[in-house]
Amino acid sequence: MSRLASVRAETPDRVAGPTREERSVTAEGVDTPTSPVSPPVRIPVFFVAGGTGISAETLGNLMLQQFPGLDFARRKIPFIQTVEEARAVVRQLDAAKTEAVVPLVFSTISDETIRTEVEATRCAFIDLFGSHLDAVERVLHVNRTPGAAALHGVGDSSRYDARMKAIEFAMEHDDGASLRNLEAADLILIAPSRCGKTPTSMYLALQHGLKVANYPLVEEDFETGDLPRPVRGLADRCFGLLSTAARLSQVRGERRPGSPYASLGQCSFELRRAEALYRAHRIPSVNSASMSVEEMAAYIMQSRGLGNS
């Protein structure tokens, strides 16, 4: 065989690309077969309580917020008040446990007998009440009182009644609807429309029993440097809310799309004038654009020295 024929015999007709098997080999030469990507596992989370479960839910969610990359399936189980109910709840909790995931159980159950029953679950039990109560007992040198009123129950009837009256006051004085008995307000929120006055007023009334009125600042209120006449003598109880022009325009646009009321220019104008008004009368204020109602309420109460009793 000639040299040319020998070369042709040893040379393939074409240079073939890598085979399917060859493509699965990494740079280190390790075979890495393709496998389907599993969907993220949803982690069951339970908030269990002898009362409403509001505290368990609030504190539990505060912890879960530290893990933003995980997906949680939340469920609240309130009013667990007998051993039989506790055992039924344990069966629900354990049914959610699999080989792949262990559910989280956040508990504010105060009754020791019921808490012990629920603690027998095969899930991860996080006691937000009992362990801390033991520490409080040691510090105070006083034992707890079994069956004491729940935080979100009626409890002290006078405080509960005061809270209900505060809610009625906030509803009556929402958005300047009534100016009657305005001097009885613990706090008066003033702001341009859609800056968050109503939800903040209701939250302060419901959670803290504060009588809160709110008064909208409209374009006519910016024509002079004075506070609007109804609140002019109550500046020491006023607190101002602000926002960003972009956020305010977005919120107003959902209510009245394409209107001058929702335009970026109008929102910017009202916010600038409102801020100048607050400064001129030394009224504290906060920008509500990126704050929750809870955060705003805490800031307002601290600034005005409210709720310290």
**For residue 19, pLDDT beyond 90:** no
Mean pLDDT in residue range 83-98: 97
**114-149: pLDDT as tens digits:** 999 999 999 999 999 877 888 888 899 888 776 655
In which band, very low, low, confident or very high, does the pLDDT at 36 lie, cut at 50, 70 and 90?
A: low
The CA distance from 241 to 195, in Å, is: 6
* Residue 122: predicted pLDDT: 97
In this structure, what token pair is assigned to residue 17? 């690309």
**For residue 150, pLDDT beyond 70:** no
In which band, very low, low, confident or very high, does the pLDDT at 22 lie, cut at 50, 70 and 90?
A: very low
* Residue 269: predicted pLDDT: 97
User: By CB neighbour count within 10 A (0-12 exposed, 13-18 middle, 19+ buried), where does 35 fall?
Assistant: exposed
Answer whether 239's CB lies under 8 Å from 281's CB: no
User: By CB neighbour count within 10 A (0-12 exposed, 13-18 middle, 19+ buried), where does 238 fall?
Assistant: buried
Residues near 107 by beta carbon (within 8 Å), at least 6 away in sequence: 48, 49, 56, 115, 118, 119, 125, 126, 127, 128, 129, 130
**For residue 295, pLDDT beyond 90:** yes
Instruction: Return phi, psi of residue 23, to 5°.
Output: -70, -20
- Helix extents (H) in the chain: 3-10, 20-23, 54-64, 83-95, 112-119, 130-140, 157-172, 197-208, 245-255, 264-280, 293-304
Answer whether 17's CB lies under 8 Å from 48's CB: no
**165-215: pLDDT as tens digits:** 999 999 999 999 999 899 999 999 999 999 999 999 999 999 899 999 999
Mean pLDDT in residue range 156-164: 81
* Residue 157: predicted pLDDT: 75
In this structure, what token pair is assigned to residue 175? 């958005």
Domains and CATH numbers, the chain: 42-140 (3.40.50), 157-304 (3.40.50)
Mean pLDDT in residue range 81-96: 97
Q: Choose between 156 and 116: higher pLDDT.
A: 116
* Residue 134: predicted pLDDT: 80
* Residue 11: predicted pLDDT: 42
Q: What is the pTM of this model?
A: 0.65
